Structure 1
C-alpha cells in the first residue's frame, strides 16, 4: 500500500523535511503519484516502521526483533554502507570504482591490506560451479584450523587462500585477473569488461543474510573457510543469491507477451507468485548497481519490456538481480552464470567482514524472544 504525503506525515508526526530526508536515505520508498506527477506516494510499511521507532516506547525485545528484519544496524562495520541512495566501500563510491577497478583491487580495499592469490592444485569435478565451491570449502573446513589467535597479516593470507580456492573451484585452475578467467570459463571472452564491473558492484552490500552468517561462524573462532561455507550455503536461497534465475524465467514469460507486457505480469501476479528483480529497501530512488550495469549493456527486448511493465504495475525500478539476469541474457551465458558471478564477487565481501569480525574478538550470540507455552505451566 502507498500513502500520500499528508497521510505519511500524519503517521510519522514529523515535518515534510524529515519525510524527504528519510526518502533520500532509502528509509522510505517513494514513487510518483500516477494521478499527479508533481506529487509522490510513500510505501506504507516503511512509514509505519519509522513511526514505531520514533514513538520511543519499545521494549528491548521489540528493538532486537525489528533489527533482525531490515532494522537498525546490529553490528558496527567499516566495510560498506548504503547512504543517500549510493553504495560505498570504505567510503568510496562503488559505482565509480566499477568504472576501472578489478575484483582484486576491491579485495585489497575491503581487506585493508595487500595479498596475493596462491597456486592451487586441481580439485574434484562437480556438476556446477556452485557445487564445486561448496565441496572445496567443505574440504578446506574439514582440514581444521581456526581464526582465533591469528594476526591481520595471517588472516589476509588465509583469506587469499579461501578466495583462490573458491575461484579455482568455480572457474578451473588458472592465472590472470578473475574477471578474465570468469569470462573464459563461461565461454564468452568478450564479456570480460562488463563482468569486471559486475564483480566490483556485487562484492559487498552491508550486513545481508549471507554476510551475517559468515560473521557469526567466524565469531566462534571457526576458520575463514568455515565462515565462507556458511555464507555460500546461505547465499543459495532463492530470496538471496539465486534471485536472478527467477528474473530470467519471468523475462522469458513476459517476453512471450511483448505486445501486452502488463497482461503477462498481471497473470504472473494472479498466480500468487512474487515478482523478482524489482525494488530494494535500501534504495528509495532505484538500485544504483542495477543502473550502472544496465547502462553497460544492450538490454534485451524482453528485459526492456519487463522493466517498463514492472515499473508501471509495481511502482518499483529494476534491482541488481534484474540487471545481472539481463547481463547474462545479453551474452547468452549458461544457466549457472548468475549465481557463479554473484558468489565469486561476494566471497570478497564475506572475507572482508570475517577479517573485521575476527579482529574484534567478539562472539555474536543473540537471545531468542520466547513465544511458546508459558514456562512452568502445569
Structure 2
C-alpha cells in the first residue's frame, strides 16, 4: 500500500487523539506501532497513518476494560501467550528472528523444521524409519487429504527420538498427498516427482512449503497448542491442526479461491487484504516471483487489485501457482498443510515444554426466553 492511498494526520492530531505527548508518539513510531511519512507539501513535516492511530486507540480502550480485552483476545485481539517461534512485525514474517522471505530463497522445508523446532538430530531426515500403515491413492483437497493424513498419523507407532518422530510426521503428511513414502528425498522434490510437475515447478513447491511453515498463532496453531497442553502426543496435536486447517475460513480458503478463478462472475471473490499485512502479504509476493501465471489468472488478479486496492494473499498465490504449473487440483491446500506441519510441530513441542494446560474461561450469557409460537 503506497503513501497516497493512506489517510494521514499531523503529529498534533495523532498525539491528541491518543492522549499522549509528542515524545510518546515518536516512541510509538520507533517501535513500529505507527507508520510515519514525510509530508508531500513540506519534507520537514512528518505525517502519521490514521489507521495505526485508531488501532492503538482501540488497544488502549481494551486495556482500560479488562473484560472487553479478554472477550476480544481470541478474535485478532491482544496476545494471549508467549512464543519464540514466529513473529509478524511491521508487515514482515520472521522465523526464529530470521526474515522468512530471505530464508525462502534457498531453504527446504526440512531446513525450516530444524530452525523452528530447534535442537533436532541432524540425521533425522537422512535415516527415515518406514511409514506405518498402508499407503493408498494420492489425496487432494481439504477433506480427502486430511482424512488420509489422519489415518497415517493414527497408525500405531514405535518409540522414537524427537528428531525421528518429527521427520516421520512430515513424511507422513507428504505421503498422504502422493500415496508414496518420500524416503530420504527432500519433500519438495518428492511432491514434484509424484505430481509429474514440470522441472521449474520444484522450486516453486519448495518456496510454497517454506512460506507456509508457520504464521504465529493461527487458528490451527492454537488448536495444536491446546491439544499439546493436555499432554497429547505430537501426532495427535498435528491431527488437531489438520482438522482446524480444513475449515473454509482457514486453509480451505484455497477452495474458495479456485471456485472464483473458475467462475469469476458467479463465485464471491476472495479477500485481497490481510489484517496482519496492511501493505500486502509478503508470502504471496515471494511465492509468485517468476511463476508463469495463466493469462486469465493474471488478468483476474489485476482486476481484483484495482477493485480492492490490495494484493493477493498466500491462499490466492497457492492456487494460481497450482494452476500455472498444472499441479493436481487441490495441491494448493496440500502444500499449505504439509508446510504448516513444520510449524505445528514447533508449537506442540514449545507448548509441551511449558507444562501448562491451556484452559480459558467462558462468560456465561443466559439464553433469551422466546415465546412459543
Alignment TM class, shorter chain as reference: 0.7 to 0.9
Q: Return the alpha-carbon distance in structure 2 between the equivalents of residues 177 and 139 of structure 1.
A: 19
Is 1:281 aligned to 2:294, yes or no?
Answer: no
Q: Return the alpha-carbon distance in structure 2 between the equivalents of residues 249 and 56 of structure 1.
A: 38
The partner residue of 1:212 within 212, 222, 227 is: 222
Is 1:106 aligned to 2:112, yes or no?
Answer: yes
Residues 188 and 206 of structure 2 are in contact (CA less than 8 Å); yes or no, is this contact kept in structure 1? Answer: yes
Return the TM-score normalized by structure 2: 0.80
Aligned residue-pair number: 339
Q: Return the alpha-carbon distance in structure 2 between the equivalents of residues 319 and 140 of structure 1.
A: 30
Return the TM-score normalized by structure 1: 0.79
Structure 2 runs not aligned, ≥5 long: 38-46, 369-373
Is 1:134 aligned to 2:147, yes or no?
Answer: yes
Is 1:5 aligned to 2:1, yes or no?
Answer: no
Matches within 5 A, 1:1-378: 4-6=7-9, 9=14, 12-13=18-19, 48-55=54-61, 58-112=64-118, 113-114=120-121, 115-116=124-125, 117-121=128-132, 123-125=134-136, 128-129=139-140, 131=144, 133-138=146-151, 140-141=153-154, 143=156, 154-171=161-178, 172-175=180-183, 176-190=185-199, 191-254=201-264, 264=265, 273=268, 275-373=269-367
RMSD (Å) for aligned C-alpha atoms = 3.2
* Residue range with higher mean Cα deviation, 327-336 or 240-249: 240-249
Structure 1 runs not aligned, ≥5 long: 31-38, 255-263
Q: Structure 1 residues 21, 107: CA separation in 2 closer, same or farther (over 3 Å shift)?
A: same
Q: Return the alpha-carbon distance in structure 1 between the equivalents of residues 182 and 196 of structure 2.
A: 15
Residues 122 and 173 of structure 1 are in contact (CA less than 8 Å); yes or no, is this contact kept in structure 2? Answer: no
* Runs of at least 4 residues off by over 6 Å: 18-22
Residues 213 and 234 of structure 1 are in contact (CA less than 8 Å); yes or no, is this contact kept in structure 2? Answer: yes
Q: Return the alpha-carbon distance in structure 1 between the equivalents of residues 174 and 216 of structure 2.
A: 22
Q: Structure 1 residues 321, 277: CA separation in 2 closer, same or farther (over 3 Å shift)?
A: farther
Q: Return the alpha-carbon distance in structure 1 between the equivalents of residues 288 and 202 of structure 2.
A: 15
Offset at residue 353 of structure 1 (A): 0.6
